[in-house]
Amino acid sequence: MADINIKTIISSGNDEAAIEKASEILRQGGLVAFPTETVYGLGADALNEDASAKIYAAKGRPSDNPLIVHIADTKAVYELAESVPEKAVMLMEAFWPGPLTIILNKKKIVPDGTTGGLNTVAIRMPSHPVAMKLIKESGVYIAAPSANTSGRPSPTLAEHVIEDMNGRIDMILDGGVVGIGIESTIVDLTGEIPTILRPGYITRKMLEEIIGDVSIDRAIIEPDPNLRPKAPGMKYTHYAPKGEVTIVESEMTDVKEDHNLSAIDIKPESIKEDEIRPTDKKVIDKINSLVAEKTAQGFKTAVIATKDNAPYYNCDNVLIVGEADKGVTISANLYAILRKCDTIGAEYIYSEALNQNELGGAIMNRLLKAAGHRVIKVN
Ligand code: TXA
Ligand code: MG
């Protein structure tokens, strides 16, 4: 196995020989970053405690933050989990392979080093062909957090992994840009009522259609220091660029009142050509005045805007995150844009609040964390 200090090998994920090499590295206890449909993962053999310890070292990750175990066959769930409730089976059938992680009570075979000392284990079957191939070819279950330095936005391109991990891991499989761009939905199935610990592409509504009532861990929607998130990773400042991020929202599109992170069918008001929604106009005016103020003080600023509103900002760095009503264009771009803020050297970053419907709830969850819940309301 390559020494951890040797420069990381970067290969195409479509290259058979590269998959073979990556598989060998994993079997030997090394680290390989690979694409999934959500974000890039940093993989190690999940059942090898020494190997998963290397993940924590490479990321600078707190040791109480457990890893997700990636599998390619549902049979693996029965090897890793003590019991597999009926609802887990229903979710596996409905959403795997795909961006859903389930939490179950673990069997002894899963080392404490992989679960951060918890007696539960997070399991997911990714749908990305490179991830699938790697799990199958290596013959190991792959423990993989997002392949970023702890606290930075998750990588959605191999280049992001290189930025954070070059020289710290053995190999990177490049699969190009990922499709979804934010991490999987996490559902805890160890309690009486299934609970969402981290919102994602699979919404509450989609889950409820399969298994009935699903609740949401309140600690992830309320920035209350007394509430402790059930997913240890959700308590850390996260996804944050170096500059200070502030979200500006109109009272009419309140981001906090809507605690239902699921799909409520709010139909966006239609935008006529050349006409800005009045609520958006207030947000734009506020952001422009904040930008002017910081620019006058000599600071570098950036604005995160939806496509329709972008032309109305007076800022040197207007970063278009996607189309207001097409969540997946936004989720796919969000982390790359947060990283771009660092490349630009932006010291103050202002973002429009985004739609909360469908995937929007999960996107706002990440954006609020990047902003440390700094929200300005305009009316
Ligand atoms: O989409 C994803 O899930 C990506 C790709 C690579 O699969 N992975 C990912 O892993 O986002 P990571 O480590 O960045 O986030 C895992 C989250 C953390 O918040 C962690 O605390 C939580 O899952 N988690 C893991 N095991 C858990 C457990 N047994 N109980 C509660 N939370 C758990
Ligand atoms: Mg992560």
Q: For ligand 1, is residue 41 a contact (CB within 6 Å)?
A: yes
Three-class secondary structure of residue 70 per DSSP: strand
Ligand 1: residue whose CA is nearest its atom 22: 231
Confidence class for position 371, pLDDT limits 50, 70, 90:
very high
**Residue 355 — pLDDT band, cuts 50, 70, 90?**
confident
Question: Considering every ligand atom, which ligand is closest to the CA of 149?
Answer: 2
Q: Check whether 276 has a pLDDT greater than 60.
A: yes
**Is the shortest distance between the CB of 189 and ligand 1 below 6 Å?**
no
65 lines ligand 1 (CB under 6 A): yes
Which has the closest alpha carbon to 37: 154, 138, 162? 154
Helix (H) or strand (E) holding 343: helix 327-344
Q: Which sign does the torsion angle of CA 80, 82, 87, 89 carry?
A: positive
Element (H, E) at 328: helix 327-344
Q: What is the pLDDT of residue 256?
A: 40
| Token couple for 54 | 């290397």
Convert the pLDDT of each residue in 147-178 to its tens digit.
Answer: 999 989 999 999 999 999 999 999 999 999 99
User: Residue 168 in contact with residue 9, Cβ under 8 Å?
Assistant: no
> How many whole angstroms from 297 Cα to the centroid of ligand 2?
35
Ligand 1 atom with minimal separation from the 184 CA? 1
Kindly state if the Cβ of 234 falls inside 6 Å of ligand 1.
yes
Query: How far does residue 287's CA lie from ligand 1's centre (Å)?
Result: 34
38 lines ligand 1 (CB under 6 A): yes
Q: Residue 109 pLDDT more than 70?
A: yes
pLDDT of residue 234: 81
Which pLDDT tens digit goes with each residue over 192-239?
A: 999 999 999 999 999 999 999 999 998 887 767 788 889 888 876 677
Q: What is the three-class DSSP state of 232?
A: helix
Q: What are residue 303's DSSP bridge partners?
A: 318, 350
Those residues whose C-beta lies under 8 Å from the C-beta of residue 219, and which sit 6 or more positions away, are 227, 228, 229, 230, 234, 235
Which atom of ligand 1 is nearest to 146's Cα?
14
Digit-coded pLDDT (tens) for 313-351: 999 999 999 998 888 899 999 999 999 999 999 999 999
Strand partners, 244: 348
Peptide bond before residue 232 is cis, with ω within 30 degrees of 0: no
From the alpha carbon of 198, which atom of ligand 1 is closest?
A: 19
Residue type, position 78, single letter:
Y
Q: What is the mean pLDDT of the chain?
A: 90
What's the CA-to-centroid distance between 287 and ligand 2, angstroms? 29
Residue 186 CA: nearest ligand 1 atom is 23
Residue 4, pLDDT > 60, answer no
Ligand 1 lined by 134 (C-beta under 6 Å): no
The three-state secondary structure class of 337 is helix
pLDDT of residue 259: 38
40-63: pLDDT as tens digits: 999 999 999 999 999 999 999 998
Span from the CA of 339 to the centroid of ligand 2 (angstroms):
14
pLDDT at 357 over 80: no
All structural domains of the chain, each given as residue ranges with its CATH number in brackets, are 16-221 (3.90.870.10), 244-378 (3.40.50.11030)
Q: What is the 3-state secondary structure (H, E, C) of 268-300?
A: CCCCCCCCCCHHHHHHHHHHHHHHHHHHHCCCC
Q: What percentage of the chain reaches a pLDDT higher than 90? A: 78
Distance between Cα 208 and ligand 1 center (Å): 21
Decide: 126 and 143 in contact? Cβ < 8 Å. no
**Is any atom of ligand 1 closer than 6 Å to the C-beta of 232?**
yes
Residue ranges with strand state E in the chain: 9-12, 32-34, 41-45, 68-70, 100-105, 120-124, 142-143, 171-174, 185-188, 195-198, 215-216, 244-250, 301-306, 318-322, 348-352, 375-378
The region of weakest confidence among 17-31, 92-106, 226-240, 319-333 is 226-240
Question: Can you tell me the mean pLDDT for 15-22?
Answer: 96
pLDDT-derived band of residue 274, with 50, 70 and 90 as boundaries?
A: low
Query: Are the C-beta atoms of residues 314 and 307 closer than 8 Å to each other?
Result: no
What distance in Å separates the CA atoms of residue 378 and residue 286, rounded to the nearest whole number? 7
Please give the Cα distance from 145 to 69 (Å, whole number): 9
Contacts of 180 (CB under 8 A, 6+ apart): 37, 38, 39, 99, 200, 201, 328, 331, 332
Residues 119-146 pLDDT 10s = 999 999 999 999 999 999 999 999 999 9
Q: Name 99's Cβ contacts closer than 8 Å, sequence gap at least 6.
A: 37, 38, 124, 126, 127, 180, 183, 184, 185, 200, 201, 202
66 alpha carbon to ligand 2 midpoint, in Å? 10
Share of the chain above pLDDT 70, in %: 91
β-pair partners for 302: 349
Facing residues of 304 across strands?
319, 351
The pick from 101, 124, 157 for probing ligand 1's pocket by mutation, whose C-beta has the most ligand atoms within 8 angstroms, reads 101
